[in-house]
């Protein structure tokens, strides 16, 4: 079954109402004041013919871009009969995907269980517990890959109890972005987008959105962004050369692959709050760094990137918000 075979579940059999009807159609907001600060100091001004727009994904009801794939995965699972008889949805998560699953699970009466690194932010763990999720904490030194391996083991040991959603290998993940994020960007930019940038975690955002944009705008540049090292502080993102690669990931899709240092992303996250009024998470800071790098090399163009979530799940990281 290919990406194009996947669709949002039949709305005639699974009503889209309440929370689920609010997923997607997030705003596209401009970056107006940020400039790139080269290592040697000063500021690098962008050409006035270059615009940077960000997809504000924290406007989704679960607070992040993960609402899109979580809902599509759940709806397809219901349509296929995978969540019958009280089966628990099982997956690994670094936080946001679990929160999205748990949000819709609570709304639809689906029990959920997650393997999550023990060093996930306290805010994320509190949200998951508040939403009624069962949490299995995994070795923080093993990161998201450790949680992934734990989820796989649980699914293999207890197939009658769990349905393994497998966000890293489920085509409904990237399919959600093919069906929604890509068309929204085309509509919101009037088809003028020239460069699209997305961070690599499951890779679903880049794969689904990038494929849709490439089909509709053959000359668009697709750019992936990831941490610059295996040990990093960019929650939700993977350093693909040293990580377990998601099976939905196709490294040939991106025209360019950029890396971002954790320190640069942290600095940019604070700058976004203070210079743009955008209180967002650290992966958004990383996306902004990459977008500014791309935009600084253009004479004209429309650069679009995705800001996955707001900063509220990172409040315990006081050093970042106080600029230390």
Task: Please tell me the distance from the alpha carbon of residue 223 to that of residue 150, in angstroms, as a whole number.
Answer: 31
Percentage of residues in the chain having pLDDT higher than 90: 82
Q: How far is CA 66 from CA 47, 73, 242, in A?
A: 33, 11, 23
pLDDT for the residue 7 = 45
Please report the beta strands in 256-296, taking only residues with DSSP state E, as ranges in sequence order. 256-260
Q: pLDDT of 192-205, one tens digit each?
A: 999 999 999 999 99
Q: What is the side-by-side order of every strand in the sheet holding 195-199? A: 28-30, 50-56, 301-307, 195-199, 221-227, 256-260
Indicate whether 5 pLDDT > 60.
Answer: no
Q: Which DSSP letter does residue 135 get?
A: E
| % of the chain surpassing 70 pLDDT | 92
Over range 226-242, report the average pLDDT.
93
CB-based contact 114:91 (threshold 8 Å)? yes
As a dihedral over the C-alpha atoms of residue 16, residue 159, residue 244, residue 210, rounded to 10 degrees, the angle is: -20
What's the pLDDT at 19? Answer: 86
pLDDT of residue 86: 86
Strand order through the sheet with 134-138? 134-138, 112-117, 88-92, 162-164
Domains along the sequence of the chain with CATH: 11-60+176-321 (3.40.50.1100), 67-164 (3.40.50.1100)
pLDDT higher at 120 or 221: 221
Neighbours of 25 (CB within 10 A): 11
Query: What is residue 43's predicted lDDT score, i.e. its pLDDT?
Result: 62
Average pLDDT across the chain, whole number: 91
Banded model confidence at residue 85, pLDDT cuts 50, 70, 90 = confident
- Residue 2 in this model has a pLDDT that exceeds 50: no
| pLDDT reported for residue 18 | 82
Query: Given a cut of 50, is residue 298 above it in pLDDT?
Result: yes
Taking only the tens place, the pLDDT of each residue in 148-173 is: 999 999 999 999 999 999 999 999 99
Task: Report, as residue numbers or ranges, the catalytic residues.
Answer: 66, 283
pLDDT tops 70 at residue 283: yes
Q: Supply the pLDDT for residue 16.
A: 52
pLDDT of 101 above 60: yes
Q: Give the pLDDT mean for 102-114.
A: 95
Q: Check residue 301 and give its pLDDT.
A: 97
pLDDT digits (tens, 9 = 90+) for 239-276: 999 999 999 999 999 999 999 999 999 999 999 999 99
CB neighbourhood size of 261 (10 A): 16
- The residue-averaged pLDDT of 104-122 equals 94
Structure tokens belonging to residue 172: 């409904």
Q: Which two tokens stand for residue 245?
A: 């690669």
Q: What is the mean pLDDT of residues 88-115?
A: 96
pLDDT at 34: 84
d(Cα 181, Cα 168) in Å, to the nearest integer? 18
The whole-number pLDDT of residue 266 equals 96
Whether residue 37 is predicted with pLDDT greater than 80 in this model: the reply is no
Asked whether the predicted pLDDT for residue 40 surpasses 70, the reply is no
Contact present, 54 and 34 (Cβ < 8 Å): no
């Amino acid at each position: 079954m290919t990406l194009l075979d996947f669709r949002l579940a039949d709305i005639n059999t699974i009503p889209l109402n309440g929370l689920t009807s609010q997923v997607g159609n997030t705003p596209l907001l401009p970056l107006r004041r940020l400039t790139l600060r080269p290592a040697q100091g000063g500021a690098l001004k962008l050409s006035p013919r270059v615009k940077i727009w960000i997809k504000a994904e924290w406007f989704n009801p679960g607070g992040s871009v993960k609402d899109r794939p979580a809902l599509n995965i759940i709806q397809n699972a219901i349509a296929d009969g995978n969540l019958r008889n009280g089966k628990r949805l099982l997956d690994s998560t670094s936080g946001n995907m679990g929160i999205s699953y748990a949000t819709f699970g609570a709304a639809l009466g689906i029990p959920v269980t997650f393997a999550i690194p023990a060093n996930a932010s306290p805010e994320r763990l509190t949200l998951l517990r508040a939403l009624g999720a069962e949490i299995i904490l995994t070795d923080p030194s093993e990161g998201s890959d450790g949680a992934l391996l734990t989820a796989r083991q649980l699914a293999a040991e207890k197939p009658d109890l769990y349905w393994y959603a497998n966000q890293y290998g489920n085509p409904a993940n990237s399919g959600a972005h093919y069906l929604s994020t890509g068309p929204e960007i085309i509509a919101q930019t009037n088809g003028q987008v020239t460069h699209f940038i997305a961070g690599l975690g499951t890779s679903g955002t880049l794969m689904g959105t990038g494929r849709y944009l490439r089909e509709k705008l053959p000359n668009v540049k697709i750019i992936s962004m990831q941490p610059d090292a295996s040990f990093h502080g960019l929650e939700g993102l993977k350093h693909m050369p040293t990580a377990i690669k998601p099976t939905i990931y196709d490294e040939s899709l991106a025209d360019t692959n950029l890396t971002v240092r954790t320190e640069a992303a942290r600095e940019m996250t604070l700058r976004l709050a203070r210079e743009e009024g955008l209180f967002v998470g650290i992966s958004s800071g990383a996306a902004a760094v990459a977008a500014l790098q791309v935009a600084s090399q253009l004479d004209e163009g429309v650069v679009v990137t995705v800001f996955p979530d707001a900063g509220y799940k990172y409040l315990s990281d006081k050093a970042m918000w106080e600029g230390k």
